[in-house]
Amino acid sequence: MTDTQTLSASASLYERALKILPGGVSRNTVLRKPHPLYAHHGTGARITDIEGVERIDFANNMASLIHGHAHPTVVAAVTEQLQRGTAFSEGTEIEVRFAEHLVSRCGSFEKLRFVNSGTEAVMSCLKAARAFTGRPKIAKVEGAYHGQYDYAEVSQNPNPDNWGDEDAPNAVPVAHGTPLNALADVIVIPYNDTERALALLDQHKGEIACVLMDLMSHRVGLRPAEAGFVKAMRDWTEADGSLLVLDEVITFRSEYGGAQTWYDLTPDLTAMGKFIGGGFPVGALAGRADVMDVMDPLAKVVQFPHSGTFSANPITMTAGLTTMELYDQAAVKYINDMAVHLREGIEEVIHATGVKACVTGGGSLLRIHARETPPTNYREAFWTHEQRSKLTGLINHFFAAGITMINTCTVAMSTVLGESEIDTLLSALESGFAKWE
């Protein structure tokens, strides 16, 4: 048994965690070798761990903190609400006000419901689509992450050994024991490949409840969907009588009204989460009134009974509304301009060092790849052993230089990041690339 007295505070805490938590964690993304980082507190753009080490935060809790840590306006609003209560069996005014605000931001939002996570938001969208259309199947993009619902998680992490032919991608389970019937009801389509995607969808006309799509999927390479591909998906669903469901859990931050405003597009439903909660667990689904009304408990026939004990709790609603009011048009422009500045800096470092790398992204999200050309789909974005080694080494290099990033070498900007933090990252990137040679 290791003598915990000789270990760092983090190593000692991880030893305790291993005894009571599978793998020592409650979410796998916090793992790193030899042990996770344990945060003590965060302020603005920086996190201080339990060892007292401060780092610049470019991960922002997996893109969920748009204003960084402990924003004083959000803290003040939540503190005031805490004194009035954290949750009630009754409704609260703040739920209505927050819903009104979100609906006002996006033209495709007619009605909205709150839930407690992005996973739950996507799950509810799929169930609503089934209830509305009376159809069992969904279609989704290969490699796209949509949370942990059996149907939504199909083929989120296939590999060359199991992903099958490009003309007919396999429906690959993530969790062992996933029912075969769930796999059979998911049609996997390639990203940005309109011809192949339409051919696969055509094989299931009249059976599909919805096409589920992320307009800039992180795992597929964080590259915005091509306009022609998006239009084809919208046109096909309208002709088929199925729905188009957008997962904007991450991408809604990209513009004031979400990434969907990049396109001439009106989806039927949109799932949201992460940053709209202001640092608290949250999810929401919004869209066409007639589709959303499948959840209406006052209807003669309730097609999709829907509820949740902590849905629309006043703490999350207060933090979310305060955060989103702060995230106005000016704030969106600032954070996106900072992301452009960072992207241009990364491209300059790539050019100066001559490494085989590229950067993708949009809005306030960026991802570095260990390949010369940006990937157009999941199979191109899939890491080879060499790429994994380089990018893992780069992440560790950033960490040692006092910078945290998402473990795919992805940046999620916050409004409190500025020129000095960007300069620090670019300097670390240059010295990190030197280790690739």
Quick one: angle between helices 314-326 and 72-82, nearest 10?
Answer: 160
Q: Which two tokens stand for residue 204?
A: 């299931």
Spatial distance between the Cα atoms of 421 and 350, rounded to a whole number of angstroms? 19
| H or E element, residue 243 | strand 243-247
Cross-strand partners of 362: 365
Burial of 56 (0-12, 13-18, 19+ CB in 10 A): buried
Burial of 50 (0-12, 13-18, 19+ CB in 10 A): middle
Query: Which among 190, 113, 178, 171 is positioned nearest to 150, based on CA atoms?
Result: 178
Spatial distance between the Cα atoms of 360 and 372, rounded to a whole number of angstroms? 11
Spatial distance between the Cα atoms of 251 and 192, rounded to a whole number of angstroms? 17
Spatial distance between the Cα atoms of 352 and 192, rounded to a whole number of angstroms? 31
Q: Is 214 a catalytic residue?
A: no
Q: Is 145 a catalytic residue?
A: yes
Rounded to the nearest angstrom, the gap between the alpha carbon of residue 56 and the centroid of all alpha carbons in its chain is: 21
Strand bridging mode 269-273 / 283-287: antiparallel
Spatial distance between the Cα atoms of 98 and 92, rounded to a whole number of angstroms? 11
Catalytic residue among 191, 247, 378, 390: 247
Q: Which two tokens stand for residue 233?
A: 């998906």
Question: What type of residue is 324?
Answer: M
Q: To 5 degrees, how large is the angle CA 89–CA 102–CA 47?
A: 85
Q: Is 9 left (phi over 0), alpha (psi -120 to 50) or beta?
A: alpha
**Three-state DSSP state, 41:** strand
Q: Is 300 a catalytic residue?
A: no
Catalytic residue among 127, 140, 145, 193: 145
Question: What type of residue is 179?
Answer: P
Q: To 5 degrees, how large is the angle CA 16–CA 21–CA 25?
A: 95
Quick one: angle between helices 227-240 and 194-202, nearest 10?
Answer: 10
Catalytic residues: 145, 247, 274
